[in-house]
């Protein structure tokens, strides 16, 4: 009886949520993007941003049909009902891998919405804060995935490996978003952002420790090791910044104008270094691809010449055999 009542209440929540988040009741303004995912994503509403943007969330799960649908930035009520729908959806999903897939999709959607708001925010502090809140919600889903990873990885199949790949790519996108927000953020808010960045990186680092699982394919392992190394580099950078600049950040918090100026200069230097590092990484990637192609060409050439070599060896062996036979006679 209790189980029937539970499912009845879940259905009621879904129905009410869909009704109350309709364009009429929620006073939506359209903001449409394209989301590619393995499951249908819930609708949402918009209050204070109205501009068309097109983007994609993440590569779809290989075995599932791609779904493309409109997604809108939630306002206060839209976000409230979106949270309810997500919770109900997860509550009625019992397969650990499927639940992780849903949480991964929800995290990707929140990050995409945060990116869209950040693009429109400029120096608007309210929109910057809203983008940060979206990213925090995305982080919550990622933390839940990390907490449930043992159940998800009991049997490492293609779907579980795909979740790990998406998690790694998601973290790198998150880092890029933080860089954009940081560039426009007021100095006094910088410490809070860096602390949030550190927490997210540490969570991703723990999640990607799953690469040690012996059932993960070599291709996926190689990709995740590369992502994990980049995450660890970013994490070291954040920890160093928060440790070395702690006193300066405290002065900024207290309203010291000279400290704000100094922090701005340090931030510009940091951005320049990051730009140089990105260029260097790109060059490394290009070199690595060239080497990979060259090795592939060499292997291909070797495979093409092997049959001929085998014929020559057989002919030489035959000739030697005839000579030996003649000597015996």
pLDDT tens per residue across span 6-17: 555 656 555 555
How is the chain split into domains, by residue range?
A: 2-244
DSSP string, 263-303: HHHHHHHHHHHHHHHHHHHHHHHHHHHHHHHHHHHHHHHHH
Instruction: Check: CB of residue 152 under 8 Å from CB of residue 97.
Output: yes
CA 282 to chain centre: 19
For residue 10, give the nearest of 85, 74, 111, 104 by alpha carbon: 85
Find, among 108, 37, 49, the residue nearest to 74 by Cα: 49
Q: Is the pLDDT of residue 1 over 60?
A: no
Q: What is the pLDDT of residues 3-62, one digit of tens each?
A: 555 555 656 555 555 444 443 333 333 344 343 434 333 333 333 333 333 344 444 343
Question: Which segments of 21-64 does DSSP mark as H helices, in order?
Answer: 23-26
pLDDT of residue 181: 86
Q: Residue range 87-107: average pLDDT?
A: 94
For the entire predicted model, the pTM comes to 0.58
Asked whether residue 178 carries a pLDDT value surpassing 80, the answer given is yes
Among the ranges 70-79, 80-89, 186-195, 305-314, which has the highest mean pLDDT value? 80-89
Regarding predicted confidence, which is higher, 47 or 314? 314
Residue 321 is predicted with a pLDDT of 55
Mind listing the pLDDT tens digit for each residue in 252-292? Answer: 777 777 777 777 777 676 666 656 656 666 666 677 677 77
| Average pLDDT over every residue of 139-165 | 87
What phi-psi label fits residue 27: left (phi over 0), alpha (psi between -120 and 50 degrees) or beta?
left
- Residue 42's pLDDT is 36
The answer for residues whose C-beta is within 8 angstroms of residue 85's C-beta and 6 or more apart is 13, 14, 17, 18, 42
User: What share of the chain in percent tops pLDDT 70?
Assistant: 62
């Amino acid at each position: 009886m209790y189980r029937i009542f539970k499912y009845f209440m879940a259905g009621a929540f879904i129905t009410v949520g869909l009704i109350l988040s309709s364009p009429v009741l929620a006073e939506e303004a359209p903001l449409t993007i394209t989301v590619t995912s393995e499951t249908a994503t819930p609708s949402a509403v918009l209050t204070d941003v109205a501009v068309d943007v097109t983007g994609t969330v993440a590569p779809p799960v290989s075995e599932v049909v791609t779904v493309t649908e409109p997604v809108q930035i939630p306002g206060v009520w839209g976000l409230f009902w979106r949270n309810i729908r997500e919770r109900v959806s997860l509550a009625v999903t019992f397969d650990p891998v499927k639940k992780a897939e849903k949480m991964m999709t929800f995290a990707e959607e929140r990050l995409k919405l945060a990116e869209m708001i950040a693009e429109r925010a400029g120096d608007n502090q309210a929109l910057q804060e809203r983008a940060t809140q979206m990213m925090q919600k995305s982080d919550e889903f990622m933390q839940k995935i990390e907490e449930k990873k043992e159940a998800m990885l009991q049997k490492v199949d293609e779907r579980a490996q795909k979740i790990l790949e998406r998690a790694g790519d998601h973290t790198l996108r998150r880092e890029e978003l933080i860089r954009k927000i940081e560039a426009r953020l007021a100095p006094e808010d910088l410490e809070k952002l860096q602390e949030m960045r550190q927490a997210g990186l540490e969570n991703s680092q723990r999640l990607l420790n799953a690469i040690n699982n012996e059932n993960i394919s070599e291709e996926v392992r190689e990709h995740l090791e590369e992502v994990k190394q980049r995450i660890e580099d970013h994490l070291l950078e954040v920890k160093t910044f928060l440790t070395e600049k702690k006193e300066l950040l405290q002065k900024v918090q207290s309203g010291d104008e000279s400290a704000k100026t100094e922090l701005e200069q340090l931030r510009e230097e940091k951005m320049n270094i990051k730009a140089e590092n990105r260029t260097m990484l790109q060059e490394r990637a290009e070199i690595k691809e060239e080497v990979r192609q060259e090795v592939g060409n060499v292997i291909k050439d070797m495979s093409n010449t092997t049959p001929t070599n085998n014929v020559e060896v057989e002919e030489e062996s035959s000739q030697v055999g005839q000579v030996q036979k003649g000597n015996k006679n």
